[in-house]
Structure 1
C-alpha cells in the first residue's frame, strides 16, 4: 500500500508546509500549523484544451441594473447596497451572542412573504430555533428550517426546495465527504465555501454565511474565505451596550464602510432610524473638551461627539490614550498644535474618545480633536450648536474633506446653527442650508474662532 503523505497547514492563512514549525512562515502567526493528510499526486501530462466562455467586447456588455430584493429592514438594505442580489453570497461575522442569528431569523420572517427562504442551522437544534422564534415574536412562523452539517446534503435540499434566500449558520460547522479533515479546518472551510458559492451563482440563490470570529475580531479561517464571497459584514458593539453596528468591509454591489445601527431589545434587534442622535450627548450646559463633528460612514453622514481630557501628567512620559481614534494620529496632531498653534501639551496627559463606541478612520476628525483638547486644557467650552470638521496638515493648513455639503445638511437637520469647515468646503449658498458656515484655511484661524 502507498504510504500516506501528511503536511502541515496554517489555520490562519492556509499556507502548507512539509514540516511542523512553531511559527507560520507566510503570515507569521504562532501555533497555527495543523497536520492534515496531503492530496494525492496529480496525473502526469497536460490537460486537454476545452472551449470556455466566449470573448466579448467591453463596450458591448449589457448594462442592465442588478435586480435587488428588499430584506424588510431599511438599515440592512443600506449596508447591503440596496437589498439582496440574486446569486450574491454574503459573509457576516461577529462575537458569540452579539445577535447574528437573531437578526437573520428576523430578516427571514420578513422575506418569507416575498419568496421562499431556508434557514440551515449546524449549531442549534430545530427546537432551539423554534424557541428563539417564539421569544422574538416573529410576524410569521411558517419558515422552512433544516438542521444539517454535510454540505452535499444541504445543497441537495436547496436544489429540491429552490429557495430564493438561504442562511447557513454557520460555515464553520459544515463539512464535505470529499475531505477527511475535521469541520472548521482550513481545507473544509475552503471546499465547503467553494461549493456553496458555485451553487449560488448557478442557481441565482442569495446566500448568507455566518462566520465565527477570532479573539482579534477577524473571521476565523483563511482570508481566502472573504475573497470568495461578494459581501463581508461585521457586527460591532461595546461591552454593556445594547446597540449593535453592522459594517460592510467588502461589497461588490455597493459602497464599503456602510453601516447599519440596531438596538437589542427583548423582542430582537430594532432599527435605529436616527443614528446621529445616538452618538451625541445632549449636555444641559456647554462642557469643556467636547466638540461635535460630522463623520462619513460609507455614503451616510453621521454626527458624533469627540471628547478630550487634558490633565497634568504625574509620570515622566505623558500618556496618550485614544478610543475610536488612531493613537499615532493624536501624537501627530499634538505636534502640529504646538508648532502652529503655540499650545504645548508635552507635560500633559491627553485622553481622546468618540462617544457611543463609534470608530472614526477618516481625517475629518483632526480639527475637532484638536479643538476638544484645547477646550479641555483651557477649561473653556465650545459654544452650543457648533459643529466642526476638517483635516489638519503638518504645515498647519486646514484641508478639505469629501462630501462637505452633505455633512452640513446633516448638521442643519439635527439643529446645529454654526459650522467651522475648511475653506475649500465652503458652500456657495450657505443660507439655503440653514446653518452659518465659518470657513478657515489655517489652524490659527480655527483656534481664534472658538
Structure 2
C-alpha cells in the first residue's frame, strides 16, 4: 500500500535546533517512509490513497520507555501512598489475585490508551508468560518485552521459572518483527547477586539486553549502601551489568559518580517524572544528566502510579517540573523532551530504524488534528506538543505503514469488551 500525506505539517529532525516544522509531502511505501519533500507525485510516487494534510501535524510515533501494561487494571486504586507502602502493601497483594485473562485485558487497555495518545512503541515489564505478550502482539504496537525477574540465588526455582517465561515468549512470538525481548531483573532489592549473575549469563547466551528499576527511592540507596557498601548504580557496574545494552528505569536518586557511570557506560536512563513525583520519590537530576551526556528517555510507568500512559503528559511535566525545581526556564526544553520521547526512546528499545521522520525509516507515525483552540495559532508545533497538547488531539496512528487508529477509529480492538472485562476483574480483585 502506498499512502501519501499531502501538504502536512511535519516535525522533522534539525541539526541546529533538534526539530523543526515544515509543510511537506510524506510518502509511505508499504512499511517505510519513502519520500519527504515538496511534491511526492512529481518525484515519481504513485499513491494508492492520498490524505489531505491541511490543519494536521505529523510526527514520529511516541515511545514509552517504561511501563507495566497489565497494571492499567490498578488505575486510581492505589493513590496517595508512599512508594514502598504502595508497592508491597497495595500493588503486590492485588497482583496475587490476577488471572491470565485479567492480565490480557489489562494489557489490551494499556495498548488502547497508548494508541489513542500517539504512542507507537513501548518497553514493558510484566509478571506472566504468554497472556501479556499475546495482548501486545494483537494490538499491532511495537514493544520490547521483559518478564519481571525476582529471585534469591542461582538455584531459586521460582527465579529460574521466571527466566524461562521470557524464553518461552521469545520462542512463541519471535516471528513478530514488531516485538523484541529483554531480560528484566526487577530491582536490586528483589534480587540478590547470585540471581543477577544468572540473569546476566542468560542475557549473554541469548543476546538480550537488560531492563531494570534503578535508584528509584531514598530507601533503595540507603539499603544498598548498608548491604553492599555502595550505591545501586556502582553495585551493578561493579557486577558488569552495564556491559549489556541496559535500560535503567527511574534513576531518581543519583550521585555525581552515578551519573558519570551511566554516561560512560551508555546506559539508557528511562525517567518517569509523573510517577516519581506522585509516589514521593522526588525529581531525577535531568539537567545534570543532560549536561553529562546520559542517554535519557521517558516512560510513564504504570497507570497504577501515573495514572495514565499518556506520553504528552510526561513530556509536559518533565519540562515544567525541572524548570520550577531548578528555577531555570531553560532547564529542560520542549525539543529535548520530544527527543527523549521519540528517537532516544526507540534506540533504548532496540528499534534503530524508527523514532524520527526520515526517508528509509519505519512508518511509525502519529497524526494530530491542530484545529483545537489550545493549539491555535500554530506558531511552534514542537512547543505545542509539550506545552499545550493533551494527547487526545491525536486522530491517527500508524505502525509499519499500518493504521492502528484512523480518524479516531481503532482497528482490530474491541473497546467495549476491554472496558467491560477490566471493570469485571477489578470488582473481583478489589471490590
| TM-score, shorter chain, exceeding 0.5 | no
* Higher relative contact order (Cα pairs below 8 Å, separated by 6+ residues): 2
Query: Quick check: which one's helix share is greater?
Result: 2
TM-score, reference length from structure 2: 0.29
TM-score, reference length from structure 1: 0.28
Structure whose alpha-carbon radius of gyration is higher: 1
